[in-house]
Amino acid sequence: MKITEEYNNTEVEVFEVISAKYIGDYAIRVFFSDGINRLVDFKPFLESSLHPSIRKYLDESKFTEFIIEDGNLNWNDYDLIFPLEDLYNGKL
C-alpha cells in the first residue's frame, strides 16, 4: 500500500489583536493586525452566564482590566479569554 498526502499550499491568514479600547456598557472596539476593527458587545455573554467566575466580570471595574497578551484580549491571566475568530467576527 502506498500512502500519499495531498498538500494544499494555500496561505492561511493570521491575525491578532493589536489594540483595544473600552467604549462603555461592556463593549470593546478591537483592532486587528490586518486593519479590521470590530465593536464587540460582551454584555449578553456575561449576563447569560450562570458561572460565578464569568459573572464577576459584570463588575465594570474588573471587566475593564483586560490586557492584550499573545495577540488576544486577556483578563486576569487567562481567567477570561475568547477565541480570536469570535472577536474578529464581532460575535460571542
Domain assignment present for residue 2? The answer is no
- Name the band, by pLDDT with cuts 50, 70 and 90, for residue 3: low
Tens-place pLDDT, residues 31-63: 999 999 999 999 999 999 999 999 999 999 999
Is residue 49 a part of any domain in this protein? Answer: yes
Q: Is 72 helix (H, G, I), strand (E, B) or coil?
A: strand
* pLDDT class of 86 with cuts at 50, 70, 90: very high
Q: What is the pLDDT of residue 52?
A: 96
Range of the domain at 64: 17-89
What's the confidence (pLDDT) of residue 14? 80
The answer to whether residue 51 is domain-embedded is yes
CATH number of the structural domain spanning residue 65: 3.30.2020
Domain-embedded: residue 11 = no
Does the pLDDT at position 13 exceed 90?
A: no
Number of domains making up the chain: 1
**Domain assignment of residue 85, yes or no:** yes
Does any domain span residue 63? yes
Residue 55 lies in a domain: yes
Residues in CB range of 71: below 8 A, 6 or more apart? 15, 16, 17, 18, 33, 84
Q: What is the pLDDT of residue 59?
A: 98
